[in-house]
Amino acid sequence: MATVTVRAAATGAAAPAARPRIGRGLPAALALVPTALIVLVVYVGCMLWTVRLSFTSSTLLPKFDFVGLAQYERLIVNDRFVVSAQNTVIFGVLFIAGCLVLGFLLAVFIDQRVRGEGAFRTVFLFPYSMSFVVTGVAWQWFLNPGLGLEKLVRDMGFSDFTFDWLVNQEMAIYTLVIAGIWHGAGLTMAILLAGLRGVDEDLWKAARVDGVPPWRYYLSIVLPLLRPMVVTATVLLAISVVKLYDLVVAMTGGGPGIATEVPAKFVMDHLFERNNIALGTAAATLMLVTVVIIIAPWIYARYVRSKGRR
Amino acid sequence: MSASVASGPRPRRLTPGRIGLYAFLLTAAVFFLLPLWIMLITSLKPMEEIRLGNILALPAAPTLEAWSKAWSSACTGLDCNGISVGFWNSVRILVPSVVLSIALGAVNGYALSFWRVKGANVLFGVLLIGAFIPYQVFLYPLVRIFSQMGIYNSLACIVLVHVIFGLPTMTLLFRNYYAGIPIELFKAARIDGGGFWTIFLRVMLPMSVPMLVVATILQVTGIWNDFIFGLTFAGRENLPMTVQLNNIVHSTQGERAYNVDMAATMLAALVPLVVYFVSGRWFVRGIAAGAVKG
C-alpha cells in the first residue's frame, strides 16, 4: 500500500483528474471561505506586494514611489548578491547531481534482494526527518578543523593531513554540499526505489537472455524508464536549493566572510536586519522568477499536457 | 505493503559482485550514521576528554551531565534556562498548528472532491502553485499585516503562519484521498438527507484515519523542524526549539561547550527521530504524498 502511494506521487498522479462533483450548497462554499481568503491575501496579495516593493526606494519603512529597475541594477553589482547567486549554482548543481547519483545507486543496490533491506532503508532516510539546523550543527562539529575530522586523521599518524574546508573561503560551500547530500539523498532513494519496484521483472530476464551486463541494463534500460521519478526528484531538490537557508545559518553563518552566502539569507538579512526593504524584496522577486523558470515546464508537462492525453 | 518485492536480478551465491554490493551499502550506512553517532558520543563526554581525545573515541566514563545542562541551563545570550524553554515553546506551537492545519486541509479536500463550488478549481490551482514559491516572497508583507492586526510576535501569529503554509499540502493530500472514495457512497449519504457537515463528520472523517495519520506525521516533523517561521513570527517569548538551538550553539558567551551543544542538538532531533522510527513506512508514505511541497 505504502509503495503504491509513493509510486503514485512520484509518477505524477498526485492530482487525479477532476471528476464530476455532485453536491451543491452554501455550506460547501462557506467552508472554502477561509482558504479563499488565505489564497487571496497571502498567496496572491503578499506576492504582488513584495514585487511592488521591489520597484520602490523603501528602506526601513515601505514607500510607494516608483524607481523602476534601480534596485535590480544595484543588486547585480552587489558583491554579496553575486556571490549568493554563484553559490546557488555551485551548490545546486553538485547537490542535485550528488543526491541523484547516490540516491540512484542506493536504490539499485537495495533492489538486489539484499538482506536487511528495511534496516538499510531506515538508515539512509533518517537524516531527512531531522531539521536543517540539526544537520548543520552536526556537520559543523564533525568537520571543524580543531577537534573534528582533521584532528582525527592527524592523530592516526598523518600529521600533515589538512581538512579545513569549513573555514576555507574557497571550499566552505562544498561542506554545505556534503551536509545537504547527507540530508537529501535518502529522499531521492525512496522516490527512485518506488520507481524501480514498478519496473517489469521480465525486462531483466529478457536482457539476461541477450547477455546484457547488469550495469548496462540499469543505465540503458531502467534509467530511461525512471524518467518521471528522476524529474520529480530533481524538481523537489531544485526547490530546496532555492529555499536553502537554515542549513547555511546553522553551519557556516554565510562565512567565512561572505563565502557561503545564499539568496534566501540575503533577503532575510536585508528585510529584517539591514532595513533595506526594497533591495531585499528585489532579491526575493528574483528568487520567485527562478522558481517559476524551474517549475513552469514541469507543471506544464505534468498537469497541462497529461490532461490532454487522458 | 507486501507488494514491494525487489525487482532486481535474482541473487546467486556470494560472488565478488555480491560482496562489493554489501560493501557499498555498508559504507553508505556508515556515512549516514556517522554524524548521529558522533553527536551522541560527544554529548556523553566531559569537555576535557573532547579537547584531548579523538572525536570517534568512546567516552571513557559516559555522563549525562551535558544533557542536563543542555536541557535546563545552557545559555542563549543572557538567558540561561536551557533548551527546555524551546522544547515547550515548540510543543505549544506544534499542537494547535497540527490540529488546525489538518482540520482545514480535510474540510478543503472534502469540499473540493465532492461539492461543486464556483471557482474552486482556480482556488486549488493557485494554492498548488503557492506551495512552490519561496517563503521569502511572502514574509515582509505578512509581518506588516500581522503588525496591523496586533498579533505579530505571538503564539497566535506563528500558529496562523503554520496553518497558512501547511494549507497547500494538507488540501492536496485530502483531496487526493477523497478522490479515491467512490462517489456512490457520497450519493447514498445525500439521498439519506445528509448535509455538508453531517456527511463530513459522520461518513468521511471516520474513513480518513490513514490519511489523518500520514498528515499528522508530515505536519509534526515539518512544524517541529521549522526554523524560518519561528525566527520571523514567533517573537522572543515563543522561539521554537530549532531557533533556540541555533542561538545556543552560536552564542558568543564564553568558551564553546561542544558536549552541551551536541546534547542540545540531540534533544532537538529527538521528536522527529522518534516519529520517524515509530512510524516506519508511514513516514515514507507521508513524505511521498507531501513531496509536492518539498
Find, among A177, A207, A287, A270, the residue nearest to B135 by Cα: A287
Contact B48, A142 (CB under 8 A): no
Convert the pLDDT of each residue in A86-106 to its tens digit: 999 999 999 999 999 999 999
Could B242 and A134 be called an inter-chain contact, meaning their C-beta atoms sit closer than 8 Å?
A: yes
Question: What percent of chain A is modeled with pLDDT above 90?
Answer: 39
Convert the pLDDT of each residue in A203-216 to its tens digit: 888 888 888 888 88
The phi, psi pair for B115, rounded to 5°, reads: -115, 145
> Distance between alpha carbon B167 and the CA centroid of its chain, in Å?
14
Q: Domain ranges for chain A, please list them.
A: 2-11+77-309
CA A49/CA A169 separation, integer angstroms: 36
Q: Centre a 10 Å sphere on the Cβ of residue B170 and count the other Cβ atoms it contains.
A: 27
Residues 64-93 of B with CB under 8 A from A: none
CATH class of B84-290: mainly alpha
In the DSSP assignment, the letter for residue B226 is: -
Could B55 and A147 be called an inter-chain contact, meaning their C-beta atoms sit closer than 8 Å?
A: yes
pLDDT of residue B293: 41
Q: Per-residue pLDDT for B254 more than 80? A: no
| C-alpha pair distances (Å), A83 with each of A76, A121, A168, A238, B89 | 10, 37, 15, 18, 36
CA A59/CA A77 separation, integer angstroms: 18
This prediction's pTM = 0.87
Amino acid, res. A259: A
B127 touches chain A (CB under 8 A): yes
Provide the CATH topology of domain A2-11+77-309: MetI-like fold (1.10.3720)
Contact B152, B275 (CB under 8 A): no
Find, among B278, B240, B32, B224, the residue nearest to A187 by Cα: B32
Could B8 and A112 be called an inter-chain contact, meaning their C-beta atoms sit closer than 8 Å?
A: yes
Q: Give A229-260 as a 3 state SS string.
A: HHHHHHHHHHHHHHHCCHHHHHHCCCCCCCCC
The pLDDT of A157-186, averaged and rounded, is 88
Q: Looking at the partner chain, which of A4, A36, A155 has a beta carbon nearest the beta carbon of B3?
A: A4
B9 touches chain A (CB under 8 A): yes
Q: Per-residue pLDDT for B225 more than 90? A: yes
* Residues with Cβ within 8 Å of residue B119, at least 6 apart in sequence: A36
> Distance between alpha carbon A237 and the CA centroid of its chain, in Å?
3
pLDDT of residue A49: 92
Could B183 and A204 be called an inter-chain contact, meaning their C-beta atoms sit closer than 8 Å?
A: no
pLDDT of residue A173: 93
B188 Cα to chain A: minimum distance (Å): 12
Could B7 and A204 be called an inter-chain contact, meaning their C-beta atoms sit closer than 8 Å?
A: yes
Residue A231 CB-density burial (10 A; 0-12 exposed, 13-18 middle, 19+ buried) = middle
Residue with cell 457512497: B185
Residue with cell 490513514: B210
Most confident by average pLDDT, A10-24, A104-118, B47-61, B75-89: A104-118
Sorting pLDDT into bands at 50, 70 and 90, what band is A62? confident
Q: Looking at the partner chain, which of B21, B195, B242 has a beta carbon nearest the beta carbon of A114?
A: B21
* Residues with Cβ within 8 Å of residue B97, at least 6 apart in sequence: B158, B159, B162, B163, B166, B219, B223
Convert the pLDDT of each residue in B265-276 to its tens digit: 999 999 999 999
